[in-house]
Every structure is written in structure tokens, then in C-alpha cells.
Chain A
């Protein structure tokens, strides 16, 4: 899900990075002291999850857990995900420094969106297992959607590739849905205070 340096046009990179920078600044400024530990855990979780590769045809898919991070952190996801992306780019060659703003937008905006969707009345009326499944599913769905749109509108040569990324990631969305569901059920059973804290 990481876009590498040099893939997008300069205009697209700058425009998307500006949005990410603003959201990151706002999140860093508003990040409450009591949420910092949870933000650190989510950052580490995102970092590790990106390494779990699942072979799929000629390509590989990996977990990102954006929905789970989203409902735990909301806007603060921008801080958490930025640190993980920065270290992945610097130490492991995942993504790139120039494209970090774009990758932050693609990963953190879905987390923020899922947080708000999760707190709507309609969503809260759903069966809990379905809620947790959709949290995982929607996180990846939005990330893939943003990635597809950014690639599609960035360069003409990426139009078909962008559409194929959407197709590949349908499987990732389903896997993320189930992983998110089991993870959140586990959190609710063993550390319910984390979920409650996220709701405050």
C-alpha cells in the first residue's frame, strides 16, 4: 500500500502532502497526554502489521489495520502512522521520504474516517461482530480507494494499474475485516478499558 518515491507527479505529491501536513500538525497539537501510550502502541502495531505478507497470485498483500487504529485514535492516527511510515522509509526502504505525505494521507485519512463512521448511530445499531468486521474492512477500503484515485488522476499511464490495485485489494479488505473483528473482540474481552478510553 506504500507509494514509492518518483511514482507520482510533483503536483499531486505536493497537494496531497499539504493536506497531510495540516492534519498531522492538528493531531500533534491536540494529542492528549493520556492517549500518547495508546498512540505509541498503535504506531508499533501498524509498523509490525506491514511486515505480515500474504502471497496472493503474482503479488503479495499485507495487513495495515487502519480501521482498528482509527477507532482507537481518531485524528491522532496521523501522528501514530506518520512515525511508523517515517521509520519504514528511513530504515527499511518501504515507501519513500518524498512520498511520505501521500502515504500518510492514504493510510491515516481512512483511519480518521472509520473513527467517525464507527460513532454514527446507524453503525452503533449493528451487530457488534459486524461492526468490528466493517471497521477492518472499511479501513482498507478507503485506503485502497484513495490510492486508486491518487494514481488515477496523477498520471495517465497509471489509469489501468490504479483499477487493478482496487481489484487486488478486495481480498485484503476481507482479510482485514476478519483480522480486525478478531482483534477488536480480543481487545474488548481482555482490555475493555482501551476501547472505552477511545470512546471518551
Chain B
């Protein structure tokens, strides 16, 4: 009963959740995948599919932290995370070409960008209504 309730809560949240992000790092052949929503919440239990060309290598779910680790014997991969209900992110990667970024730094940068976008949005709101006021005034 409790499991069913948790599933329903997770599923209903996924209907309303926002953009899904994918962060991939690797060390030698060990690939680590982390997926999270725009709100910063981990994509808990989301479906994961890893492909090399047309071959499906992994068909699994992310863990409770939104993470998954695997050893890859291929350099080029297609990684797809499906948070259900149309929330999907897919990336084609070449392991050696992946930028060596620190997750904490990336999240910090994204948070910073989010604040910048919030500021920009507030400016655009002011601009829109300012222009609307001018248009209405001129129309009179």
C-alpha cells in the first residue's frame, strides 16, 4: 500500500516536473550518470537506456539519488533518461571527448544561471508592461 502511494506521488510529480538534465562523467571505462530536474531534484528511479549504435547495452532505472554507474567497453554511446510523461533527455557522447567537469561546480553554475535568468525575466516583465502602457496610451 505504501509502495503504491509512493509510486503515485512520484508519478504525479513527474507529470508536473520540469526539464530533465543529464550529467555524465567517466574515469577510464567507468561511466557515471546523474540525472536531475530543473528544480535540482534528482530523477529518482527514472528509466535509463544506454545504446551503442542500434545495440541496447543497458535497460535499467536510476537509483534513489538519480545516479547510475557502469563499465563501458565502447567509446561512443547514446544515453537516454526517461522520467515518463514526455520528460526525456537523450545525449550522444564520445567518452574521450566528455569535458572533465565537477558535478558540484556544474550545479553551482546552473544555479547561478538560474538566478541570472530570474533577474532577466523580471526585467522583461517590467519591459513588457511598460511597452503595453505606451501602446495603450498612444492608442487613446
Contact = CB atoms under 8 A, between A and B. Distances in A.
B15 to A, nearest CB: 5
A47 interface: yes
Contacts of A91: 117, 120-121
Interface of A: 1-7, 31, 33, 36-37, 39-40, 43-44, 47-48, 51, 53, 57-60, 83-84, 87-88, 91-95, 151, 158, 160-162, 164-165, 168
B17 interface: yes
A160 B95 CA distance: 41
Q: Which of A6, A31, A40 has the most CB of B within 10 A?
A: A40
The 7 A-B residue pairs with the shortest CB-CB distance in the complex, in nearest-first order: A6-B86, A93-B19, A40-B129, A87-B121, A161-B12, A91-B117, A93-B38
Contacts of B104: none
B85 A58 contact: no
Nearest to B44: A58
A92 B118 CA distance: 8
Contacts of A60: 13, 39, 41
Contacts of A168: 9, 12
Contact of A43 (B16, B118, B125): B125
A159 B16 CA distance: 14
B6 interface: yes
Given A5-B86, A51-B118, A59 B13 contact: yes
Interface in B12-52: 12-13, 15-19, 38-39, 41, 44
Interface range for B: 35 or more
Interface of B: 5-6, 8-13, 15-19, 38-39, 41, 44, 85-87, 114, 117-118, 120-122, 124-126, 128-130, 132-133, 136-137, 140
A7 B129 contact: no
A193 to B, nearest CB: 19
Contacts of A36: 129, 132-133, 136
Main secondary structure of the interface of A (DSSP, over half): helix
Contact of A94 (B6, B9, B18, B41): B18
Contacts of A84: 121, 125
24 contacts: A4-B16, A4-B86, A6-B85, A7-B86, A36-B129, A47-B118, A47-B121, A47-B122, A48-B118, A48-B122, A51-B118, A83-B125, A84-B121, A87-B124, A92-B114, A92-B117, A93-B19, A94-B18, A94-B38, A151-B15, A160-B8, A161-B15, A164-B5, A164-B8
A165 B12 CA distance: 6
A44 B127 CA distance: 12
B121 A92 contact: yes
A144 B121 CA distance: 26
Nearest to A99: B86
A158 B71 CA distance: 36
Given A33-B133, A151-B15, A57 B9 contact: yes
A88 B8 contact: no
Contacts of B120: 91
B39 A53 contact: yes
A178 B40 CA distance: 27
